[in-house]
Structure 1
Amino acid sequence: MRKSSFPYFQAALIMNIIELNHYPVKSMRGVAINVADFSPIGLRHDREWLIAQANGAFITARKLPILLHFHTETHAGSLKMIAPDGDSLSVYSKDYTEIAPVQVWQDTFTAYSGDTAADEWLSAKLGQAVRLFWLGERSTRLLPPDTPLSFADGAPFLLTNAASLADLNAILGEHFDMNRFRANVVLDGAAAWAEEKWRRIRIGTTEFELFKPCKRCVLTTIDVHTLEKHPQQQPLAYLAKHRGAVFGMNMRTRQSGVLRVGDSIEIIE
């Protein structure tokens, strides 16, 4: 048995994954999965498609909350998008061959455009001119020094803790779902907010570095079911005042492998 360097009372906890989620199109609804292949860029199919303005500048549900009501399905080489009205459209990565510049936050890099019919369909559904971009087989965007990055905000993986959310809900006297926080990996079995003190964890045989707390934005104030914003801007208002706006931890790894719901988590550092 490996010996953890973390204090014994934390190492004795039994922690495991209770949710895995990927988000094939940035800002569209997440997809819960039981098993996920992963590599240094993140979970397979996570944030590999992007909706942007004509010039490639990214668009998210912060400005267009209706994106949260679009469902997606991924298949080999294809993506199916299902609009809130039930209309659907499938696109194929093989049709995305035109190299084009895109921008996510301060990062400008190249991705692929191609299916103008998809652009027109999305523009009609969203009420403004947009384009759909595919990341490609390899990303040209890097998280320094050398970690490939998808269309995610700033990290390949986002980890959250069920106990932290339970504590937050108890403090605020309201019920906020974890889906507001758009995590890839949700764990159970740890003390509330303990994840903010970890630097390295092991899931299966893979080590992950928790390299940065995740600072939250206005998206957490939007009810994903009704699309209504919280009148007191919760839970962001509390997090900003008392926790530096942090909820969850950004992670990265140099390895590839498979994650499964139920996998145990070990604190290394």
Structure 2
Amino acid sequence: MSSNAPYVTAAVAAGVLGSAYCAYYMYQNNKKRLPQTWNYVGTLHDIYTYPVKSCGGIKLESSECSILGLKNSWLRDRCLMVVDEKMNFITARAYPELVMVQPSMQGPVLSLKHEDLGTIQVDLAEVVATKKAETATVWGVPVQVLDCGSHVSEWFTKLLQPSEHTFKLVYYATPNPRKLRSTTNKAYKFTKNDTGALPDEVPFNLINEASVDELNSRLGNVKVSHRNFRPNFVLTGCKAFEEDNWKFIKIGENVFEIIKPCTRCILTTIDPETGVRNANSEPLETLKSYRQIEDPALRRSAGESPRMGLQMALRTPPGASVKLNDSIYVELKSSKMTPNPSLTTISVASAAGLLGTAYVTYYLYQRQRRKLPDTWTRVGTLSDIIVYPIKSCGPIRLETAECTILGLKDAWLQDRTLMVVDKDNNFVTARIYSELYMVQPIVHGSVLTLKHKDMEHIRVNLAEVVSLKKPEKATVWGITVPVRDCGWEVSEWFSRLLAQKTHEFKLMYYASENCRSVGTEKFRKYYKYTKNDCGAFPDDTSYSLINDASVQDLNQRLEKPITYDNFRPNFVLKGAKPYEEDKWKFVKIGQHIFEIKQPCTRCVMTTMDPETGVRHPDAEPLKTLRSYRLVENPEERHFSGTSPKMGLQMTLRSQPGGHVSLNDDVFVA
């Protein structure tokens, strides 16, 4: 396949630099003014995202927090909306049937289901890649959107009959938050990054379950649930309306500033189970009797709309996750804080970063989609997904993972984006320092924890590393790469582990969103590597796969069996025949297509026991593999030498961003 155009690199660079500066600026300016003391109030009971404005919600167990709201790969909060023929947004306030549209997401494919119309699907990757941006209006603010197509337009138009209008579904077309409404009360301290994509006001909102219970005690025969209020977060464990006195909220690693109370409208009167409005406008009427805003300056914009819940904006760097049962902490309004600094610079940097990244995604998708196979053969299922955050150190097994151009990712957990270097910033591996093999990493939020049986645990906050450390240069396989030093504490830890003098070794974090180069020019030309195939710190490519049947065949030739862990793959395939993979050119897992760049040629690392880190005295299984799995092509043998082949080196050829999951079917071409 041909190399991607050089300006992809420029776009990625813009993305990386903009995103990095955004993270740095936010960290530097926010860390002094965010609360230092927190009060525990309860736990996170539910997480909801509403991909289509006014339509049904999707419950999640965890989700990433971005400046546009909750995000889980292609699933993003309120990034789609229905518009009329004049491109003005519509909601369930006028069309309550929208509440009964239930969305679901599988990779980039959005499915919309309604009991009277069945299911319709929209491929958002195709929408992004093929549609041109146009202008729509939400609350009087022009926004850039992409039309999701005539088929879903007809579906919504039929659903909302007997309206005389025609309707379209549109997708938010920018990574930057939209502008504030002109009627926004200036008493509320909105910044330019607080509006999200298409929500009414802010990208995050929270409801206190105790407040809903208290409201129900005032209602007659009618009872409501938190779903009437369409929150992102549901809090349990604190007192009713205690939230009125909070200024900041902390969930997991994420800190949110409360911008304003959530003032309620007729949407709360629509039964989320039936889509029917309450005949007596409950619970809105009861709320109006005791939950009015009292401050005259704020009452001017709220009018008679009662308050229930909180509207919030993210104040810590985006990218960390929240998950069910996270503890929730708050800071009270009475606490003294320094004024909120201007975030204009953040907006510009964030836009540069996100737009650069978006352009890369668009360009790669356009370039590759016409070259991919049309016919596939099923060969088995995905039985294991493994990430190695630190080169040569222990694995982390996942049930699902996002696919990026750098490799597998799960929020801050990314494959081979960290490595240990010596005093000259040259990489080291378990080939020489076998004790590295027994270092077990754990990633929680942005915090990396390292464990070893002979050492105390040590933690590294990767968000702080990104925000505070300047990039420097290190070397991996003779290639210069940008890295950030993870600090003297973990340097001293690795130096003691490897029985060397203090500060002999350092832990480095990859400082680019662009792939590094790989091998010699002759090597790259022979295997037709592009600039986006190598990932961060893997030896060759950003993805590797092992066929478990091939491992079992190898075991029949060995005195002592091994496991596929000896080969440190990302993907483990079950169901295929031994060495069937030698003939494949492409692999498809879920929605993701990978091109096989070369066989994985094996080294002394395979001789190390994954359970003990001890090398096999007879260099097995490497010795046996050499007896029957050497590369036969003389030209290719020039690069592999006596290293036998076992497994596949692959690179992503479909659009980055979706997920692979255990038990996904695996197809080949």
TM-score (norm 1): 0.91
Partner residue in 1 for 2:505: 130
Partner residue in 1 for 2:451: 82
1:140 CA drift (Å): 5.7
1:221 CA drift (Å): 0.9
**Partner secondary structure for residue 555 of structure 2:** helix
Separation of aligned partners in 1, 2:663 and 2:426: 38
Separation of aligned partners in 2, 1:210 and 1:42: 14
Q: 1:121 to 1:228 in 2, by over 3 A?
A: closer
Alpha carbons 2:550, 2:579 under 8 Å: kept = yes
Indicate which of 647, 650, 653 corresponds to 1:251: 650
Whichever residue aligns with residue 420 of structure 2, its letter is I
Indicate which of 407, 420, 423 corresponds to 1:54: 423
Query: 5+ residue gaps in structure 1?
Result: 6-10
Partner residue in 1 for 2:565: 179
Partner residue in 1 for 2:396: 31
**Partner secondary structure for residue 471 of structure 2:** strand
Alpha carbons 2:596, 2:650 under 8 Å: kept = yes
RMSD over equivalenced CA pairs, Å: 1.8
1:33 CA drift (Å): 1.0
Separation of aligned partners in 2, 1:121 and 1:89: 8
Higher helix proportion (structure 1 or 2): 2
Alpha carbons 2:592, 2:660 under 8 Å: kept = no
| Percent of residue pairs bearing the same amino acid type | 28
Residue 4 in structure 1 maps to residue 375 in structure 2 = yes
Whichever residue aligns with residue 264 of structure 1, its letter is D
Partner residue in 2 for 1:119: 491
Encode CA deviations 1:95-122: one digit per residue, 9 max, x unaligned.
2523221111132222111411211122
Partner residue in 1 for 2:56: none
More displaced 10-residue stretch of structure 1: 219-228 or 183-192: 219-228
TM-score (norm 2): 0.38
Indicate which of 11, 15, 22 corresponds to 2:387: 22
1:14 CA drift (Å): 4.7
Partner residue in 2 for 1:266: 667
Partner residue in 2 for 1:169: 555
Q: After TM superposition, list the pairs within 5 Å mapping 1:150-165 onto structure 2.
A: 150-165=536-551
Alpha carbons 2:405, 2:515 under 8 Å: kept = no
Alpha carbons 1:112, 1:134 under 8 Å: kept = yes
Alpha carbons 2:595, 2:650 under 8 Å: kept = yes
Partner residue in 1 for 2:635: none
Indicate which of 513, 535, 543 corresponds to 1:149: 535
Separation of aligned partners in 2, 1:80 and 1:146: 32
**Partner secondary structure for residue 183 of structure 1:** coil
Residue 191 in structure 1 maps to residue 577 in structure 2 = yes
Higher strand proportion (structure 1 or 2): 1
1:28 CA drift (Å): 0.8
1:85 CA drift (Å): 2.2
Whichever residue aligns with residue 190 of structure 1, its letter is A
1:212 CA drift (Å): 0.5
Separation of aligned partners in 2, 1:264 and 1:234: 32
Whichever residue aligns with residue 224 of structure 1, its letter is P
Alpha carbons 1:98, 1:114 under 8 Å: kept = no
Encode CA deviations 1:70-109: one digit per residue, 9 max, x unaligned.
1111122221111222511111222252322111113222
Whichever residue aligns with residue 110 of structure 1, its letter is P
Whichever residue aligns with residue 135 of structure 1, its letter is Y
Partner residue in 1 for 2:433: 64
Alpha carbons 2:379, 2:668 under 8 Å: kept = no
Partner residue in 1 for 2:465: 95
Alpha carbons 2:380, 2:576 under 8 Å: kept = yes
Separation of aligned partners in 2, 1:228 and 1:83: 15
**Partner secondary structure for residue 237 of structure 1:** helix
More displaced 10-residue stretch of structure 1: 167-176 or 156-165: 167-176
Residue 73 in structure 1 maps to residue 442 in structure 2 = yes
Separation of aligned partners in 2, 1:89 and 1:114: 12
Indicate which of 221, 237, 245 corresponds to 2:623: 237
Partner residue in 2 for 1:221: 607
Alpha carbons 1:199, 1:209 under 8 Å: kept = yes
Separation of aligned partners in 2, 1:174 and 1:194: 24
Separation of aligned partners in 2, 1:64 and 1:180: 16
Partner residue in 2 for 1:8: none
**Partner secondary structure for residue 110 of structure 1:** strand
Separation of aligned partners in 1, 2:545 and 2:449: 26
Whichever residue aligns with residue 390 of structure 2, its letter is V
Alpha carbons 1:161, 1:195 under 8 Å: kept = yes
Alpha carbons 1:15, 1:188 under 8 Å: kept = yes
Q: 1:114 to 1:160 in 2, by over 3 A?
A: closer
Q: 1:204 to 1:224 in 2, by over 3 A?
A: closer
More displaced 10-residue stretch of structure 1: 102-111 or 259-268: 102-111
Separation of aligned partners in 1, 2:600 and 2:649: 6
More displaced 10-residue stretch of structure 1: 105-114 or 159-168: 105-114
Using CA pairs under 8 Å that are at least 6 residues apart, name the structure with larger relative contact order, 1 or 2.
1
**Partner secondary structure for residue 179 of structure 1:** helix
Q: Which runs of 4+ in 1 moved over 4 A?
A: none
More displaced 10-residue stretch of structure 1: 223-232 or 151-160: 223-232
Task: Give the number of aligned pairs.
Answer: 261
Query: 5+ residue gaps in structure 2?
Result: 1-372, 519-528, 631-643
Separation of aligned partners in 1, 2:652 and 2:379: 22
Partner residue in 1 for 2:479: 107
**Partner secondary structure for residue 168 of structure 1:** helix
Partner residue in 1 for 2:41: none
Q: 1:67 to 1:27 in 2, by over 3 A?
A: same
**Partner secondary structure for residue 43 of structure 1:** strand
Separation of aligned partners in 2, 1:224 and 1:249: 20
**Partner secondary structure for residue 172 of structure 1:** coil
1:137 CA drift (Å): 5.0
Partner residue in 1 for 2:134: none
1:184 CA drift (Å): 0.2
Separation of aligned partners in 1, 2:428 and 2:379: 39
Alpha carbons 1:110, 1:140 under 8 Å: kept = no
Q: Greater CA radius of gyration, 1 or 2?
A: 2
